[in-house]
Amino acid sequence: MSGEKQQSHIIGVDDHLPIGKLVVLGVQHTFTMFGATVLVPLITGLDISVALFMAGVCTLLFHLISKGKVPIFLGSSFAFIPPILAVAGMSGLGLEYAQGGIVVAGCVYLVLAALVYFFGYKRVVSFFPPIVTGPIIIIIGLCLAHIALRSASEHWLVALFTFIIVCVVSIFLKGFIKLLPVLCGLVGGYIFALAFGLVDFTDVASAAWFGIPQFTLAKFNFNAIMIVAPVAVATMVEHIGDIVAISATTDRDYMKEPGLHRTLIGDGLASVLSAMFGGPANTTYSENTGVLVLTGVHKPLVMRVAACFAILMALTPKLGAIISTIPNAVIGGISIVLFGMIASIGARTLVEKKVDFTQSRNLLISAVILVLGIGGAVLDFASDQISQFANDAGVVYEGGATFDFAIGTINFSLSGLAAAAIIGIILNKILPEKSS
């Protein structure tokens, strides 16, 4: 791909970074991923330190498998929350059996990776033309919008102050500081939040300086596997969408090199490794794409530094406790920018690829993907029991359509993003290119 569109401040894979700047950029990336990574174990009951440790280790594993070429940080997957809660609440089972289900789900990725390898990535890419990928990237960003606003609404003044700092640093400042809008927003917003008494240091005093995460081995049960593993259908589609979004952001074709099969293997093995020792499923993060767009730092080594810092936090509870004191309003102010950036990349894809919206087929495909994706479809598994466990745990899902499927006595459903992508792909294949 041509590099003519690249902005002068963008740091690519081959650009040199001094150690000091590399560390600062890596820490910034870790801060951005921290909230979402620890939220899943907080909801499900998994160990937070294990989740952080595995996020770091699995990110490094992903980079090893993908030849260190893809600027990605892996974190806890939200898609697996309902089935984890369901399995954990079943009589005679527990979180260890939910971990076993995630291990099998990770193995499903390997099956798709093998198909991609033997049949060629171009056949997969043919299912993702710009008219499909553009709207998918848009909904990846917009589906996260309510999370940003929910966090920001805890204190709008702090969120607005943080948002302004991010904008000022990103647009008006020059030099290395221009690459640190997220970190500057976090620090500035944190200091501002102190004035309103929003920072609670209670857990910091009691946290130890050093500790080993409480690893637990996965156990396997057929019923638990059949509840958890089908989620891979949705997350694999989301993985492809994230790779497409990151490719569009960095102006590189990662589906070709290092190859979609490698990124799928990396993502799948990451979930296998994490769940085997007590962590949640790990997946590519949309927040990651937002940071890439905002900072212009596309160097994969920065993500590996972030991974090392996540491991350090897992082994230093005191440090993790300090970072966890960052108020949600500060995170919300930053997230408004990050998630909006992702959606903007989707719109840019449609413009740059010159998608013709005078064609009715393109309008129809885009409309269906956007409505199904943004409509808030629920990953419900067509089971009242799972919904009840989710409600008991305080997990609230937005209303919307649920796409249910049944194989024998096994029921599951696809999330809004996965359903939107699949239906968009089908429409693109069956609708004629030109109207008669």
For the chain, give every domain's residue range: 19-358
Strand partners, 407: 410
In this predicted structure, what is the pLDDT of residue 66? 94
pLDDT score, position 416:
63
pLDDT digits (tens, 9 = 90+) for 61-70: 999 999 999 9
Name the 3-class secondary structure at 46: coil
What does the alpha-carbon distance between residue 430 and residue 129 come to, in Å, rounded to a whole number?
Answer: 14
Poorest-confidence range of 28-32, 111-115, 196-200, 347-351? 28-32
| pLDDT in the model for residue 57 | 96
Q: pLDDT class for 393, splitting at 50, 70, 90? A: very low
**Average pLDDT of the residues in 212-233:** 84
- Give percent of the chain above pLDDT 70: 83
Question: Averaging pLDDT over each range in 231-240, 294-303, 361-370, which range is the top one?
Answer: 361-370
Q: How far apart are CA 340 and CA 60, in angstroms?
A: 28
SS3 string, 226-295, reads: HHHCCHHHHHHHHHHHHHHHHHHHHCCCCHHHHHHHHHHHHHHHHHHHHHHCCCCCEEECHHHHHHHHHH
Considering the chain, what percentage of its residues have pLDDT values greater than 90? 23
- Bridge partners of 380, per DSSP, are none
What pLDDT sits at residue 3?
43
With a CB cutoff of 8 Å and minimum separation 6, the contacts of 423 are 368, 369, 372
Tokens of 369: 């993907």
